[in-house]
Each structure stands twice: as C-alpha cells, then as structure tokens.
C-alpha cells in the first residue's frame, strides 16, 4: 500500500470527521482522482463504472446508481467514478443539489423524480393524476433542474388489475412529458399479497408487454426466488430496464459478527467480501441494468465500485456468497413475502423485516423506527398461529422475529 492509498484510507476513517461533509467534498472535487486510482489499483479495478442501456429509455446509465440520501461527502467521488443516474433526485432543491452534479452539462447526468400515492402510505394511499402532476411541477421549480429524466411511480401498483384500470399515474406522466418536464416512465414495484394484491414480478410481467412503462426497480438478492430470475430474463428479452434494490441483506450485520469474520479470514475466501461478491454477482447478470445500493461511507463506496469495475465473479466470491447465505439462514429476511400469503392477520411481515434491514444492515435506526411506527398494524398484531412458518424459505421463526423487531423499533 503506497502513501497515496494510505491518504485515501485516512480520509475515509478520520479526516472525514475533521473536515466535515463540505470539506471532504472539496477534497473529492480537487484531488481524489489520483487517490481513487491508487485505491482501485489495489483491487485491480481501473477506469470509470461500466454503463448499460436502461431498457426502452435508451439512457446509458452507470451499473451502480447513486441516491439523494447518500452522504454529501461521497457524492463527488461517485460522480468522478462515473455515476450518472441519481435515484430520488427530487429531494434536492436548487440550494442542496450537490455541486459535483450540477456543475456538469445537464445532458450528461440523469435525475429521477419519485412519485408516491396520496392520502396515505403505499398500501392505503391512492393514485391522483392532478396531485401527481402538480407534485412534479413543484419539484422541477424548486430544484431548478429544468426537467427530470425519469418519472418513477414509487412502490408501484397493488395488482395487475389496478395497473389495467387506474390510468392516473400514466396520465400525469404524459401531461408532464408534453410540457418537457419529464422524459421517461418507470416504477419501483413492491409485493402486495398482504392486502390481497399481487407479487412484484406478476405486475412487472404484465407491464413489460402492456403499458408505456420503460423500466422497473424491485427487490433482488442472492438466493432469490426463481420467479424473480424469470422476470429479469423476460425484461432483458423485451428491452425493459431493470434496477435491483435491497440487494445487501445480512451484509451489514455479518460485517460486525466476529464469528463470521473469523470464517471469512479462511484462505478459500481470499480477495473477497460478501459485499464485493454480491456486486459482482449482480453485474454478472447481463439482463440487469444496474443496482442501487445504500452507501454511507468511503469504504463502502470504494468496495462496491471496485467490485463493479472488476465484473468477473471468482471462486472466492462464490464461496463468500454461500457463506453469507448460510449466515442469513434463519436470521435475515430475503423480502420474498411468501410468509405474508399465509398470515390470517394480513400483517405486512416483509415490510417490517425490511425496516429491520434498515436498522441492522444499513445502520439507519431513525429511518427504520419512523417507517415501523407509521404502520397501522405492526408486529404486535401477530397471534402466534404459526401459519407463516412453513412459507419461509430462509427458515426464519417469524413469530420470534416480529417480537424482536418490535422491541428494536416499536
């Protein structure tokens, strides 16, 4: 490790605290090129992030996409390393949008506006054309960006039937597109079997052939169900863009588990970590456009970006993924939502365990608590009937897990 690499690592751990977000961003803008290059040389990864075509949008986007909730201190380095697509960019105003992004030509990066249901959360709220239209217009005005490249329906449709019969979201998009305020249409799709709706892959399989939607974002991780794999394959065949989210289940908690880290030190895992292996595994699927991965530190960004640039998955990477899968068994929800179909109380178990992931893997306890406490029916509604237990492919004792999550977040 040379002096420049030492300097890079010092910034990730100590200097960030000293100079703060603004100072670190300044360093990134003026001097991170060489430091990042040296850090990448250690992993064998050089150059900028690869780009892939985002389905029917025609946009060529970075295989790792950024998000508005990333630390302001790491965004300049992400830009330098090739991130050109920003998830939930509507959260930035003209004053808070990072200088590293807006200093570039507007056509060189892509911004996403995320549109939620109104009058409630993603399960109880409804679609309202006029309110969605006005929301995006206000976001454009507040941000000063001129337009958003992608209009994204957040959380998606409750069912295929709703997608067929409720045109409000699409009509809002069409009005905005006609005015030049948005360009492309996508959605972020969740499962809704807890309220009698459909699974994400069922909705997306329908939209691929029967709607103006051009791309989708949904849960996808190592060991996921075959239906998700088939959905991604269909999307690739039909030129429908796909961004994976919630990919790093268990990675955060494994990183702090001493027993797991002792096992990871064995020679067969040399040169790999669960996070890097997961990124390489995602990149190995040519039907997948990109992944959005929660990133809160320079170390995480360096690890994920290095893996995305390397691309090829090694034998050590596969061993690391298998070790993570074994660690997650009985502990970490894969968000497949199978258990929800068996719950007589219709508890949103997968949502609750997603909030646990925010707390345990993303270290974002405040967000996890806020999401959990907003539920109209939380883990205390469980009657311990056990009907959900046979439906869990991860062998999680859901009854016990709901109690644990409530103790953590309730």
* pLDDT tens by residue, 187-234: 999 999 889 999 999 999 999 999 999 999 999 999 888 999 999 999
- For residue 1, pLDDT over 50 is answered with no
The 3-class secondary structure across 356-373, one letter per residue, is: HHHHHCCCCHHHHHHHHH
- Residue 393's pLDDT is 85
- For residue 239, pLDDT over 80 is answered with yes
240 neighbors 293 (Cβ within 8 angstroms): no
- Residue 211's pLDDT is 92
The strand pairing partners of 150, in sequence order, are 112, 184
Q: How confident is the model at residue 311 (pLDDT cuts 50, 70, 90)?
A: confident
Handedness of CA 101, 105, 106, 110 (dihedral sign): negative
Beta carbons within 8 Å of 186's beta carbon, 6+ residues apart: 57, 112, 150, 151, 152, 153, 213, 214, 215, 216, 217, 241
DSSP 144: T
- Residue 45's pLDDT is 53
CA–CA gap between residue 232 and residue 220 (Å, rounded): 10
Per-residue pLDDT averaged across 280-306, rounded?
Answer: 94
DSSP 126: B
Q: Highest mean pLDDT: which of 4-8, 63-67, 373-377?
A: 63-67
Q: Quick one: which H or E segment has residue 313?
A: none
Per-residue pLDDT averaged across 147-163, rounded?
Answer: 98
CA–CA gap between residue 205 and residue 238 (Å, rounded): 10
403 neighbors 366 (Cβ within 8 angstroms): no
- Residue 24's pLDDT is 45
Q: Which residue has the higher pLDDT, 292 or 311?
A: 292
Calculate what percentage of the chain has a pLDDT beyond 70. 89
Beta-strand (E) ranges in 68-212? 85-87, 110-115, 148-153, 182-188
Q: Are strands 51-53 and 182-188 parallel, antiparallel or unpaired?
A: unpaired
* Averaged pLDDT score across all residues of the chain: 89
Q: Which residue has the higher pLDDT, 20 or 320?
A: 320
pLDDT tens column, 42-84: 444 558 999 999 999 999 999 999 999 998 899 999 999 999 9
The 3-class secondary structure across 218-284, one letter per residue, is: EECCCCCCHHHHHHHHHHHHCCCEEEEECCCCCHHHHHCCHHHHHHHCCHHHCCCCHHHHHHHHHHC
- For residue 245, pLDDT over 70 is answered with yes
Calculate what percentage of the chain has a pLDDT beyond 90. 74
CA–CA gap between residue 231 and residue 213 (Å, rounded): 15
278 neighbors 328 (Cβ within 8 angstroms): no
Question: pTM of the full predicted structure?
Answer: 0.86
């Amino acid at each position: 490790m040379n002096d420049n690499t030492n300097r890079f690592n010092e910034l990730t751990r100590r200097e960030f605290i000293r100079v703060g977000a603004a100072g670190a961003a300044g360093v990134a803008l003026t001097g991170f090129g060489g430091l990042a290059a040296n850090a990448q040389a250690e992993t064998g990864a050089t150059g900028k992030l690869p780009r892939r075509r985002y389905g029917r949008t025609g946009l060529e986007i970075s295989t790792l996409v950024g998000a508005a909730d990333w630390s302001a201190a790491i965004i300049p380095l992400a830009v330098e390393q090739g991130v050109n697509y920003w998830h939930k960019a509507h959260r930035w105003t003209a004053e808070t949008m990072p200088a590293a992004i807006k200093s570039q030509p507007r056509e060189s990066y892509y911004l996403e506006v995320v549109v939620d249901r109104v009058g409630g959360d993603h399960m109880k709220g409804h679609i309202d054309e006029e309110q969605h239209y006005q929301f995006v217009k206000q976001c454009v005005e507040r941000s000063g960006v001129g337009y958003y490249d992608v209009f994204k329906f957040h959380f998606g449709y409750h069912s295929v039937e709703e997608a067929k019969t409720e045109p409000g979201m699409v009509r809002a998009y069409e009005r905005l597109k006609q005015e030049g305020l948005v360009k492309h249409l996508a959605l972020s799709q969740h499962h809704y079997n807890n309220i009698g709706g459909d699974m994400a892959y069922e909705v997306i399989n329908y939209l691929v052939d029967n709607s103006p939607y051009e791309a989708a974002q949904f849960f996808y991780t190592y060991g996921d169900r075959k239906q998700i794999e088939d959905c991604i394959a269909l999307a690739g065949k039909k030129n429908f863009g796909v961004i994976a989210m919630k990919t790093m289940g268990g990675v955060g908690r494994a990183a702090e588990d001493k027993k797991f880290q002792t096992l990871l030190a064995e020679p067969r895992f040399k040169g790999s970590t669960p996070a890097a292996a997961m990124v390489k595994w995602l990149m190995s699927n040519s039907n997948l456009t990109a992944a959005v991965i929660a990133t809160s530190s320079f170390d995480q960004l360096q690890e994920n970006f290095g893996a995305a640039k390397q691309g090829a998955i090694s034998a050590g990477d596969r061993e690391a993924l298998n070790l993570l899968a074994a660690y997650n068994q009985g502990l970490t929800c894969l968000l497949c939502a199978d258990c929800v179909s068996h719950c007589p109380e219709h508890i949103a178990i997968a949502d609750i365990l997603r909030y646990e992931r925010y707390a345990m893997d993303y270290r974002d306890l405040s967000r996890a608590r806020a999401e959990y406490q907003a539920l109209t029916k939380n883990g205390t509604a469980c009657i311990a009937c056990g009907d959900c237990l046979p439906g869990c492919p991860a062998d999680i004792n859901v009854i016990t897990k709901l109690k644990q999550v409530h103790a953590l977040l309730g």
